[in-house]
Structure 1
Amino acid sequence: MEKFPWWSEAQIKLAEDAKKFTDEVLIPLGERDVLKKKFPWEGVKQIATKGWFGTLIPKKYGGRAEEWGVTGAAIIIEETSRAGVVHTPLGTTMFGSATQIVHNGNEEQKQRWLPRINKGELIGCITMTEPYAGSDVAGIESTAVREGDYYIINGKKRYQTVAAAADLYMCYFLTSSKPEDRKAYTHLSAFVVEKGTPGFHIEKVNDTMGYDGLYNCYLSLDNAKVPVSNRLGEEGEGWKIMMSGLNVERILNAAPTLGPQRECIRYTQQHLERRLQFGRPICEIATNQFKLADMIWKLYLSRLIVYYGAYCADLGKDVPVEAAISKMFASDSTMVTALDAVQCMGGNGVMKIYPVERIMRDAKHAQIAAGTSEILKLIIYRQGVRDLKNDLKVPQRVIDPDINMPLPLGKPLPRKPGRNEADVLAVLAENYRINPGLHMTMEDIKEWLDISDADLVKYLEILEGQGLAGLYRTRKGISLARATYTGLQKAFPPEHYQYFGTWADPNDLF
């Protein structure tokens, strides 16, 4: 696959090495483990020999973060994701323990865990979801109560991928029930809970529709005694720590959708070129060509988005939108690509001797884990609108006397004095003329009038009381305003609101 022009020489070499190693070592192991529904221990051991568990760990602790970075992590996970599910414990260790400890741990914690993670001796698992807190992760109910040098933890976690196999569990627990802390998002704290902690055990092992061979578990904490020295950051910083790691987590949850897309294309093309029906290879049938074309452009765009997000993360940029888009688009694309691959391959597509049926089942997990596609769209909308705020501002428009229709101005008009409610009503009425059906924000009105916030509120409330204006309020106060029909009549005569394009025949108008 393409090596992007912004990749370093070290990252290019890593990509070549990862592809060769995956083809020669991991794919034979991974496919066998999947068919046997066996946890990919041998693949994990093989990956450990490459030093890839230390991709996001600084050189000081034995890793290669300065050399490979998030881009390198994405490269490794893309390639290894072609080999069944062996990439998953690698990924959960990267973003489920290593990055959190690197960025939020103290020196003692880093020395205690990072060298062993780097060697592949410790597997990590990130645990957020609870029976009653999923997408609303701020609603975590499991509690951690401090008693001296320990926290006594009670609660449950569920849907934890690679739980049971993992050694380190990145957990978030409720440490304050005060309403003011909940409002300020300082009610949670972050902990590394180690396998073998008394009172910490597997409650259920789920049998999922995909990810064959991977453990997916419920965890139970019953008066589990966790040392204060296992808390990351200060008490109350759990939400901040959780959010700080989500962008990298989402990028690295998008990366493992790329390998399966490539495998779907590979096996589909093999089938289409070698399957003859109606006297010719079915790759000559246009509908099959269209499906493969769709798979290819989805892969190209998925890779571009994922590696752009990884590159920006390596530059130290905050990338909530890029991470959300990469996770959503790549996982949705994989789902569609897998379905198309199965369809193109017909009966062979649903046979376990080919990986496409497994990829189809696994793809649904990718649309849910680390933020559902729906939650990601909310993030894209909210953060995206903020990021694009300056570009989304619509210019002032006025009725152009030449064509007798609204046109945007190159520069805003000088603001008129806002001396009374009549001046405000005139602006609201003029807005109806230019933007019929739309309210005005407070900022919109102030683009036309030189007026203080207090006076504007006062005049709008006077107009509302007189039935001349309709107002929409939020908890912060007046948000939107418009002139009522009565207000329009009071502001200007009826002919003021009339305008007709020059193409309209006056004889047809009334």
Structure 2
Amino acid sequence: MSSFLLILLFLIIVAALALAVAPLRQHLLSRPLLGVFRRILPQMSDTERDALEAGTVWWEGDLFSGNPDWTKLHAYPKPTLTEEEQAFLDNEVNTVCGMVNDWRITTQDYDLPPEAWQYLKDHRFFGMIIPKAYGGRGFSALAHSEVVTRLSTRSSALSVTVMVPNSLGPAELLLHYGTQEQKDHYLPRLATGQEIPAFALTSPWAGSDAAAIPDSGIVCKGMWNGEEVLGMRVTWDKRYITLGPVCTLLGLAFRLYDPDGLLGPVKDIGITCALVPSDHPGVETGRRHYPLHAMFMNGPTRGRDVFMPLDFIIGGPQMAGQGWRMLMECLAAGRSISLPSSYTGMAQLTARTVGAYSLIRNQFRLPIGKFEGVEEALARIGGNTYLIDAARTMTAGGVDLGEKPSVVSAIVKYHLTERGRQVVNDGMDIIGGKGICLGPSNFLGSAYQQIPVGITVEGANILTRSLILFGQGAIRCHPYVLKEMRAAHDTDRERALQDFDRAFWGHVRFTLRNTLRSIGHSLSAARFARTDALVADEMLPYYRQLSRFSAAFAMLADTSMLVLGGSLKMRERLSARLGDCLSQMYLVSATLKRFEDDGRQADDAPLAHWAIQDALYRLQQAFEGVIANFPNRFIAALLRLAIFPWGRPFREPSDKLGKSVARALMKPGAARDRLTHSVHAPVSDTEPTGAIEAALAASLAAAPIDAKIRTFEKSGRLADNPQANVRDITHAAHMEGGIDDQEYAIVKHRDMLRDRVIAVDDFPFHLFGSRASAPAERDDAA
């Protein structure tokens, strides 16, 4: 026995020395491991590498670490507008909102009115991100986001028209990569609307696989301004180009080739971005697309063998082939703002109008919002809207801190548009027939029609979830995986070995720590999880649980990558669920931060609790989805035991909590105003949203009188009165002395506003033209 112990001790010492002594470890372990790693590592193209390395890692990196630092989260300053930005929002933005009529845009003019276009140009809406030195407004990302959010509560055409020039497009690319000459010429013209930009990326044959665009340019010599210059002949066919039909300056992405070696030995230079005036010879602006009644300008653009000088390349000839990296870097910022902001606006509009409608509209002599089925939908509307706005604001704040969060931008693009879709769908379910009949008084139908647009553009949501959230997130956010991949692709053998050795064994320690941390948190129900930040006591359990699941996620991600290797890239459902885990943790973080940033408002607590509990439940379900479908069932059983030793801890938000959220949406107050602070609400009660606000106030004023009428009815004094019905009972009670003249006037005023709100628009019989223009009816007797 003693000999056995000596041998065992000797082996342990040898193993410890092998791990502790770097040269020995590298020779005995790291070198063969590097060889294995190189064999199993999937091939990576230059465009894939650019996509992976684009942008920055921000708070999502902490969540991936397994041990998030909550003091770091709350040390990020609360995003706030400057006085200048707030004044612009209160004045110019509200003014242009009042200049447009969404019904007229979508059914008659199919465009913004000319005076609105001119106002946008005159007041530099298209230059919000352009520095003041170039004539722009130099606004923060938060201000950009707030403007788009408010505009989207008024008109999709208006918000998209402003959103695109300030998002991924020529101005953004010029700011980061343009030559000084290009900046000096174009940025002032873009800021004042002298140039209307569009960016052409999507090809009919490549779709979401933008790296595979077939549009091409050939380096050659040609005539330009009367002399022969070095340039390129470019052929392209693009579609879905927002502002394409009206743009004067086209940003164009294509693949550049140099078969004759005019620029150097490289034949396939790569994806390149150029700025092309829309009136340049050979540029063909196509006819308009028709994007689901959104009515923003969108259409195709084409060109065949269009010669342009190399100076058209953004950044000049030296930036040829750098287009993909440029796009990935800029998309990280632009995608963080544009669609998350517009869907926040639609969610806030739904919460404000449908919440009020639920009190105004009666069925069975009760406001419909008091029925539990409607309460359930209202709770989802309120909780989701609170979370959506929290994630939008925190992300915009990150961009203002200098981040280009490529993974977070994908998270908010996917999850905020999906939750926004649920909010609008719930709103439509509540307002019912009022919602499905379009017309000037329909306050939600237009948003409902436009919901699929954002789900589709800037990366289709299905592909974003299944390919990007974890596929890119795991590599970018993990502290060691990208380092291991870089070492494996390094052609310098000695440097590669040293880099791999540091990364791989750091990875091993990282995995062991998180495995032990995860098991400890799971067994203790996270009672001892790290919560260093000074936060509200009622929110402490959520921080602990989030720390627990951060460690569990790190363990689960490493296990998935280790067991499945390169095949995980093709297991899109598993990858999507892993992405959901990271996403829900980010959404909970943003919600917790919002509650603290807003001063722990007691009236907002039900909204925050509902949003967090819903996200934690979805987080749990995503974990369960990975484990239940993990190919190796033995590993899956171990994972379930490590992560859920006592079963799954989270439940959906309770009915009691949902009732509190629903009530907050149905009454005026600070909580409702904070939740829907971006909604453009006209004062006039002839406007749909203005009428709803007026009717809500009138309904609350009339509520005691309604109760008095019901009591009077129960007395039997109206038993034989034919007017004692839901429509005329107020008049009957007044005539019989149940209410006085003043009370009668209050209720009748409420009734007038209520009827205006619930009214459904109607139109002439031949809605779409004269009968003569309709298709002839078939005569079966002929």
Normalised by the length of structure 2, the TM-score is: 0.48
Equivalent in 327, 330, 334 of residue 249 of structure 1: 334
Structure 1 residues 331 and 155, CA gap change in structure 2 (3 angstroms): same
1:396: how far off?
Answer: 8.9
Q: How many residues align?
A: 399
Structure 1 residues 295 and 159, CA gap change in structure 2 (3 angstroms): same
Q: Which residue of 1 aligns with 2:458?
A: 370
Deviations 1:308-352 (CA, angstroms, capped at 9, x unpaired):
222212222230111111111111122111111111111110122
Q: Which residue of 2 aligns with 1:94?
A: 166
Structure 1 residues 142 and 228, CA gap change in structure 2 (3 angstroms): same
Q: Which residue of 1 aligns with 2:276?
A: 193
Instruction: Give the SS at the match of 1:331.
Output: helix
Q: 5+ unaligned residues in a row in structure 2: which ranges?
A: 1-75, 222-228, 481-506, 517-522, 524-555, 568-782
| Letter in structure 2 aligned against 1:75 | E
What is the 5 A alignment of 1:157-176? 157-176=238-257
Equivalent in 139, 153, 156 of residue 82 of structure 1: 153
Q: Is residue 344 from structure 1 mapped to residue 430 from structure 2 by the alignment? A: yes
Deviations 1:173-219 (CA, angstroms, capped at 9, x unpaired):
110389xx9x99951110112111111113342223241x2232121
Q: Is residue 385 from structure 1 mapped to residue 474 from structure 2 by the alignment? A: yes
Equivalent in 183, 202, 205 of residue 129 of structure 1: 202
Any conservation in 2 of the 1:176–1:187 contact (CA below 8 Å)? yes
Any conservation in 1 of the 2:239–2:300 contact (CA below 8 Å)? yes
Any conservation in 2 of the 1:248–1:313 contact (CA below 8 Å)? yes
Deviations 1:223-281 (CA, angstroms, capped at 9, x unpaired):
22333222113111111111111112212222111111122222212321221111111
Rounded to whole Å, the distance in 1 between the matches of 2:135 and 2:96 is 24
Structure 1 residues 281 and 22, CA gap change in structure 2 (3 angstroms): farther
Rounded to whole Å, the distance in 2 between the matches of 1:238 and 1:394 is 40
| Letter in structure 2 aligned against 1:357 | G
Rounded to whole Å, the distance in 2 between the matches of 1:337 and 1:185 is 47
Q: Which residue of 1 aligns with 2:89?
A: 18
Instruction: Give the SS at the match of 1:121.
Output: coil
Structure 1 residues 352 and 177, CA gap change in structure 2 (3 angstroms): farther
Q: 5+ unaligned residues in a row in structure 1: which ranges?
A: 399-404, 406-437, 445-470, 476-510
Rounded to whole Å, the distance in 2 between the matches of 1:20 and 1:320 is 33
Rounded to whole Å, the distance in 1 between the matches of 2:240 and 2:445 is 22
1:5: how far off?
Answer: 6.5
Structure 1 residues 297 and 17, CA gap change in structure 2 (3 angstroms): farther
| Letter in structure 2 aligned against 1:138 | A
Instruction: Give the SS at the match of 1:191.
Output: strand
Rounded to whole Å, the distance in 1 between the matches of 2:407 and 2:420 is 20
Rounded to whole Å, the distance in 1 between the matches of 2:408 and 2:417 is 14
Any conservation in 2 of the 1:87–1:256 contact (CA below 8 Å)? yes
Q: Which residue of 2 aligns with 1:260?
A: 346
Deviations 1:415-451 (CA, angstroms, capped at 9, x unpaired):
xxxxxxxxxxxxxxxxxxxxxxx9x98x98xxxxxxx
Q: Which residue of 2 aligns with 1:111?
A: 184
- Give me the CA root mean square deviation: 3.1
Rounded to whole Å, the distance in 1 between the matches of 2:267 and 2:310 is 23
1:74: how far off?
Answer: 1.0
Structure 1 residues 8 and 338, CA gap change in structure 2 (3 angstroms): closer
| Letter in structure 2 aligned against 1:14 | E
Q: Which residue of 2 aligns with 1:497?
A: none
Rounded to whole Å, the distance in 2 between the matches of 1:318 and 1:360 is 31
Structure 1 residues 30 and 191, CA gap change in structure 2 (3 angstroms): farther
Rounded to whole Å, the distance in 1 between the matches of 2:166 and 2:85 is 17
| Letter in structure 2 aligned against 1:167 | T
Rounded to whole Å, the distance in 2 between the matches of 1:203 and 1:246 is 25
Rounded to whole Å, the distance in 1 between the matches of 2:470 and 2:267 is 22
Instruction: Give the SS at the match of 2:286.
Output: strand
Instruction: Give the SS at the match of 1:337.
Output: helix
Normalised by the length of structure 1, the TM-score is: 0.72
Rounded to whole Å, the distance in 2 between the matches of 1:25 and 1:314 is 26
| Letter in structure 2 aligned against 1:393 | T
Instruction: Give the SS at the match of 1:232.
Output: coil
Any conservation in 1 of the 2:251–2:275 contact (CA below 8 Å)? yes
| Letter in structure 2 aligned against 1:370 | E
Rounded to whole Å, the distance in 1 between the matches of 2:166 and 2:312 is 18
1:27: how far off?
Answer: 4.4
Structure 1 residues 355 and 122, CA gap change in structure 2 (3 angstroms): farther
Any conservation in 2 of the 1:122–1:167 contact (CA below 8 Å)? yes
1:24: how far off?
Answer: 4.4
Larger strand percent: 1
Rounded to whole Å, the distance in 2 between the matches of 1:92 and 1:219 is 17
Deviations 1:142-166 (CA, angstroms, capped at 9, x unpaired):
1112233332211200111221111
Larger helix percent: 2
Q: Which residue of 2 aligns with 1:480?
A: none
Any conservation in 1 of the 2:418–2:455 contact (CA below 8 Å)? yes
1:52: how far off?
Answer: 2.8
Rounded to whole Å, the distance in 2 between the matches of 1:473 and 1:156 is 38
Rounded to whole Å, the distance in 1 between the matches of 2:285 and 2:110 is 18
Instruction: Give the SS at the match of 1:187.
Output: strand
Structure 1 residues 383 and 143, CA gap change in structure 2 (3 angstroms): closer
Rounded to whole Å, the distance in 1 between the matches of 2:238 and 2:514 is 53
Deviations 1:86-122 (CA, angstroms, capped at 9, x unpaired):
1212211112121111111101111111001111222
1:375: how far off?
Answer: 2.7
Any conservation in 2 of the 1:206–1:216 contact (CA below 8 Å)? yes
Rounded to whole Å, the distance in 2 between the matches of 1:160 and 1:374 is 21
Rounded to whole Å, the distance in 1 between the matches of 2:410 and 2:566 is 28
